[in-house]
Chains A and B, each alone.
Chain A
Amino acid sequence: MTTAAPITTAAGRARERQLPAYLLAGIAFGIVLTKGELVSWFRIQEALRFKGLYLYEVFASALAVTIPAFALLKRRAVRSLSGEPIAIPPKVLGRGYRYVIGGLIFGLGWGILGACPGPIFALIGAGVGPMVVAGLAAVAGTWVYGHLRPSLPH
C-alpha cells in the first residue's frame, strides 16, 4: 500500500466528522428561510415589483451582521473548527461580463419563478410539487452552462 492512502482516508474522515454540523446549520437555514418568509413567492414578487421593503431590509440587516463579522474573522486570522485559517475566496472581476450577463439571466429566471435556488429546495421540502420541475430545470440550466462555458464571454 502507498503511504498516501491513510492520509486521504484521514482527510475524508475529518470531512465526514463535520457533516452533522453542516446538517444542523442547514436545518437552521431552512427554518430561517421558512419563518422569515424568504421562501414565499409573494415576498419575492413584493420586492421585485417595488411594493414593499421587507426583502431589502432582510438583506441590509444580514449584511449589518456579516460585514463586521467577516472583517473581524479575517483581521484576527481566526481558525475554523477544522483548523484552517478562515479565508473568503475572492471573485475574479476580469472583464466583468459574467456578472452582468449571468446576473441578468439569473434575475430574469428569479423574477419569473419567484424563487431563487435555496427556496426552490426548501419549497420542494415543504411539499410544493411543481417546484421539483423547477429544480430539475435549474440543474439542467447549470448543466447547459457547463457545456457552453468555453464559448461565452466572461
Chain B
Amino acid sequence: MFHEFLHRSWPWYVTGPLVGLVAVSLLLIGNKPFGISSNLQHLCAAFLPRRADFFKYDWKRAGLWNLVFLLVGGGFIGGALLSNTDPAAISGAAVSSLARLGIHDFSGLVPREVFNWHVVLSVRGLLLVVGGGFLTGFGTAYGGGCTSGHGISGLADLQLPSLIAVLAFFTGGALASHFLLPLLIVR
C-alpha cells in the first residue's frame, strides 16, 4: 500500500497539508520562514559580483540552510528520486484548451513540444524560457517573495502584503497564460 502511495500522484487533500507541514517543520527546526525565492538572492550573493547593496550580506549565515533545503534536498534529491510520474491528471477542459495552443503530448512533467533544445534555441522558445525565467526572478525579488514565501508563509501569518502579492501573482499568471503563452508556442 505504501508502494502504491509513492507511485501514484496524490490528491489535493494530501498534497496541500503536506506542503503546509513542510513550512511548519522549517519553523520548528530553526525558526526559518518557508520561502524559495530567497535562494535566487543567495545564489547571486554567493557567485556573482556583489556591487549592489541587495547582495552585500553573509549569504552562508542567512541562506546556507535554504540552499541545502531547496537545491540539494528539494531539487536534486527529491526531484530526481520520484520523477517518473504518470501524466498529470488535469481536467478535460484543460487538455482541450492546451491542445488548441498546439500541445499534444501530455506525458511527463513538461510538454515536449515546448521544452526541448531545438525549440528553446528558436526565437519564441528562447523568449518563453529565458523571458519567463527572467521575469520570474526579477518579479519575485521585487515583490519580496514567491508562491511559497507569500502564498504559503505570508498568507498563513495573515499578512496583508502577501495577500496583495498573491492576487498580483494570479492576475499576472492568468494574463500571461491566456495572452502571451499562445504567442510563444511554436506550432
When distances are taken between beta carbons in the complex, the residues of chain B under 8 Å from A18 are 29-30, 65
B123 at interface, CB cutoff 8 A = no
Partner of A27, one of B36, B64, B78, B89: B78
Considering the complex, give the chain A residue whose CB is closest to the CB of B140. Answer: A106
A128 CB to nearest B CB, Å: 6
When distances are taken between beta carbons in the complex, the residues of chain B under 8 Å from A62 are 16-17, 19-20, 23, 152
The reply to whether A140 and B51 form a contact with Cβ atoms under 8 Å apart is no
- The contact string, 1 if C-beta is below 8 Å from chain A, for chain B 99-139, is 00000001001110011110010000000111111111111
A92 CB to nearest B CB, Å: 7
The reply to whether A107 and B52 form a contact with Cβ atoms under 8 Å apart is no
The reply to whether B70 and A118 form a contact with Cβ atoms under 8 Å apart is yes
Q: Taking A112-B132, A117-B39, A141-B138 as contacts, is the C-beta distance between A73 and B16 under 8 angstroms?
A: no
**B interface, CB within 8 angstroms of A:** 6, 8-10, 12-33, 36-37, 39-41, 43-44, 48, 51-55, 61, 64-66, 68-83, 85, 87-91, 93-94, 97-98, 106, 109-111, 114-117, 120, 128-148, 150-162, 164-178, 180-181, 184
Query: Apart from A58-B12, A115-B136, what 15 extra A-B contacts exist at CB < 8 Å?
Result: A22-B73, A26-B70, A30-B78, A35-B6, A42-B94, A49-B98, A99-B144, A103-B171, A117-B146, A121-B39, A137-B134, A142-B43, A142-B137, A145-B54, A147-B52
